Amino acid sequence: MTLDKFRPLADRMLDPFVTAADRVGLSPDGVSVIAFGFAVFAGTAYALAGAAAGIWRPDPLLYLLGAAFVFVNGWLDLLDGALARRQGTDSKAGDLLDHVLDRYADIVIIAGLAAGTEEYLLGFLAVTGVLMTSYLGTQAQAVGLDRVYGGLVGRADRLAIIGAVTAVAAFYTAEPYGLTLVGWLLVFFAVVGHVTALQRFYYSMVALE
């Protein structure tokens, strides 16, 4: 269940956006920074929209804005790499910047979801699962293997799920088993994130034997 396998198709769909970004003079690093900005917007929107412990009622518009910002972040995350290849400027420094900003983007978005629902323990478990998933993917490369994108949920899947679920949460306010839809989203990432990390760890260990 990973959208990363469709990256070639996404690259073809990106072509007109890459052309437009190149024409207006954007650099891949600039696109990475802009993408991170949208992650900050998403996290802020989620924190404000879902601050539900008696202070505010969840704001449907802010949940929808958060979802839109997440989708834009994911789209720009694809665009920066494609733009670097178009301009012939792909480099290790650019790759490092992209990965660092992606990790901070993951933290900001999930922190916003946790703050909005006041489910801080779930938020902690979710963000550690997400970070370990990403860490195992790149650590495989550090020990001489190819970078690992496999497992149950990759970053593309994660952003798509967050965007879709929070868009639904704008209208679905029930709390099955005492948790909001966003709370269950955090449970999902807490469980699946660590399972995906362990999948990548197992794959890497087998490949190293």
Cα separation of 153 and 4, whole Å?
9
The alpha helices in the chain, defined as continuous H runs, are 7-23, 28-49, 60-87, 92-117, 120-142, 155-169, 181-208
Cα separation of 137 and 155, whole Å?
11
Which residues are known to be catalytic? 102
Say if residues 61 and 147 touch (Cβ distance below 8 Å). Answer: no
Q: Which residues contact 129 (CB under 8 A, 6 or more apart)?
A: 189, 190, 191, 192, 193, 194, 196, 197
